[in-house]
A and B are shown apart, each in its own frame.
Chain A
Amino acid sequence: MDAWVRFSAQSQARDRLCRAAQYACSLLGHALQKRGASPELQKQIRQLEGHLSLGRKLLRLGNSADALESAKRAVHLSDVVLRFCITVSHLNRALYFACDNVLWAGKSGLAPRVDQEKWAQRSFRYYLFSLIMNLSRDAYEIRLLMEQESSGYSRRQKGSGGGTPGGSETGGPGDPGTPGGGLPQIALKLQLRVLLLARVLRGNPPLLLDVVRNACDLFIPLDKLGLWRCGPGIVGLCGLVSSILSILTLICPWLRLKP
């Protein structure tokens, strides 16, 4: 009980719970539609989803300030690439929240002349840019860790007296490829790369969580902007998974990716 009180005292936690519920409703509605459930039940689920969506828009009023504050903090990071990616991502988030506030004003009747479609498209565009920046940052971190891991491996190999016969395949990008590499050679290289990636991600749970979360979130704006229509089922599932993962990072703060 104490854990719930502490958890729900953060407004972000409540927002994530509502988001999980919203996408669960979307997924459930899609599943019920496919199985031909009663229209009454479908209408109830859709209504609940609508209420959740509007309620979340109200809960998010003021999140622009939070995003700007995070952007201000990110400007002081030492690594140039991280600084750029994280700051731009937060700035795009701030713009997304600003568009979301305009949409709320339109939906709640305060500004009835707001063009809902136009502002919705704008908000999803900013959300997409922010997710792309997050994924770039994740890719950069993965690359750094892979380089670290492979140089550590090659150092260990040298230390144990002579590498594997046939040249070391785990070298970094500066590694001269074996001459005349055929298809099996490329396949082997790819396999080793994938193994290295898996090892890096397994040893770094916050990074893995962040990658999966951003990848799942990516489907939502791609579908809403019409770039890659995946259907309400996939959108619902991805939204639900990413909400659950971000609830996990709130419950266990060590799972949060720190810059």
Chain B
Amino acid sequence: MEAFTRFTNQTQGRDRLFRATQYTCMLLRYLLEPKADKEKVVMKLKKLESSVSTGRKWFRLGNVVHAVQATQQSIHATALVPRLCLTLANLNRVVYFVCDTVLWARSVGLSSSINKEKWRTWAARHYCCSLLLSLARDLYEISLQMERAARDKARRDEALSRDPLGHSVADEGTEWLQAFLLLLFRSLRRHPPLLLDTVKNLCDILNPLDQLGIYKSNPGVIGLGGLVSSVAGIITVAWPQLKLKIH
């Protein structure tokens, strides 16, 4: 219980738990809606999802400052590609949180002249851009790790004096793909924070893509994606060493 209280004492921990609950409700609703006698359960899931979603807005108030601070930190990254990608991603997050605050003001009734649809589209657009830039950074880091893994493998093969070109020309295509996937798997396995971050960003991007109409999927896929990314977020909060650091 002590670990649970330590976890929930952090705002981000609590927020991730609620996010996981919200997307689980979305997923369960999608699975149970076609069933005949589950209307009451579906109704309750909808109410829980909407009240958790509304309540989570209070967690996000003031996150503009967090995003500005993250932008300042990412300017100091050493390599050019991560510096560029992360700074732009965090700038997009700043704009997303500003739009989110405006939507919050609308939802609590502070200002009724706000065009909800317009601001929602802007928020989704900037969130999508920030996720794409984060994924670009992840791909860059993955390519670095794969290069490193390939060099290590070549050095090991040389040491064992194995002929690296000993394969038939006919199998070159599938063998290349196999070797690539193996290398990818190995580099991600050696670097869990990178794996978690990539999975999180991939799952998160489904929601804004659906909202913007770029890639329409069903609530079940979005719910599952949201749940997986929330679990990844919970893992990074509970074990901070698994968070992808800026070098």
Interface, chain A (partner B; CB < 8 A)? 1-2, 4-5, 8-14, 18, 44, 47-48, 51-52, 54-59, 62, 65-66, 68-69, 108-110
Closest residue on chain B to residue A111 by CB atoms? B44
Given contacts A65-B1, A65-B4, A109-B47, contact A12 B9 (CB under 8 A): yes
Say whether A14 contacts B48, CB under 8 Å: no
Asked if A11 meets B10 with Cβ closer than 8 Å, knowing A18-B58, A58-B51, A110-B44, the reply is yes
**Shortest Cβ distance from B2 into A: residue:** A69
B69 pairs with A2, CB closer than 8 A: yes
The contact sample of 6 A-B pairs, CB cut-off 8 A, is A9-B10, A14-B11, A55-B54, A58-B55, A58-B58, A65-B8
Known contacts A5-B69, A51-B109; 17 additional CB pairs below 8 A are A4-B65, A5-B66, A8-B65, A9-B12, A10-B10, A10-B11, A11-B9, A11-B11, A51-B107, A55-B54, A55-B55, A55-B58, A56-B58, A58-B52, A62-B17, A65-B8, A66-B8
Q: Is B28 an interface residue when CB atoms closer than 8 A count as contact?
A: no
Residue of B nearest to A18 (CB): B58
Which residues of B in the span 95-126 have a Cβ within 8 Å of any Cβ on A? 107-110
B14 at the interface (CB under 8 A from A): yes
Closest CB in chain A relative to B233 CB, distance in Å: 14
Q: Is the CB of B5 within 8 A of A66?
A: yes
Q: Is B192 an interface residue (CB 8 A)?
A: no
Instruction: Write out the residue numbers on chain A whose beta carbons fall within 8 Å of the beta carbon of B8.
Output: 11, 62, 65-66
What are the nearest 10 A-B pairs in CB distance? A58-B55, A108-B51, A109-B47, A55-B58, A47-B109, A51-B108, A11-B11, A66-B5, A69-B5, A11-B14
Residues in B neighbouring A62, C-beta threshold 8 A: 4, 8, 14, 17
- The proximity string for B residues 60-92 relative to A, scoring 1 for CB distances below 8 Å and 0 otherwise, is 001001101100000000000000000000000
Q: Is the interface of B mostly helix, strand, loop or mixed?
A: helix
Complex CA–CA separation, A10 to B12 (angstroms)? 8
Provide the B6-26 mask, 1 if CB < 8 A to any CB of A, else 0.
001111111001100000000
Residues of A within 8 A of B69 (CB): 1-2, 5
CB distance from B237 to the nearest CB of A (A): 10
Interface positions of B from 31 to 69, Cβ below 8 Å from A = 44, 47-48, 51-52, 54-59, 62, 65-66, 68-69
Residues of B within 8 A of A (CB-CB), count: 33
Give the Cβ gap from B4 to chain A, nearest Cβ, in Å: 6
Q: In angstroms, how far is the closest chain A Cβ from the Cβ of B243?
A: 14
A108 nearest in chain B by CB position: B51
Task: Determine the distance from Cα of A92 to Cα of B19 in the docked complex, in whole angstroms.
Answer: 29
Within 8 Å by CB of A110, from B5, B48, B58, B66, lies B48
Q: Decide: B9 and A59 in contact? CB cutoff 8 A.
A: no
Return chain B residues, CB-CB under 8 Å to A56: 58
Complex: A109 Cα to B44 Cα, angstroms: 7
Q: When A65-B5, A69-B1 are in contact, do A5 and B58 touch as well, CB less than 8 Å? A: no
- The CA-CA distance from A109 to B51 in the complex, in Å, is 9
Q: Does A14 lie within 8 Å of B59, measured CB to CB?
A: yes
Report A-chain residues with C-beta under 8 Å of the C-beta of B18: 58
B6 → A minimal CB distance (Å): 9
**Residue of A at shortest CB range from B21?**
A61
- Residues of A contacting B110 with CB < 8 Å? 44, 48
- Give the contacting residue for A54; candidates B2, B10, B12, B55; CB below 8 A: B55
* B44 contacts across to A, CB distance below 8 A: 109-110
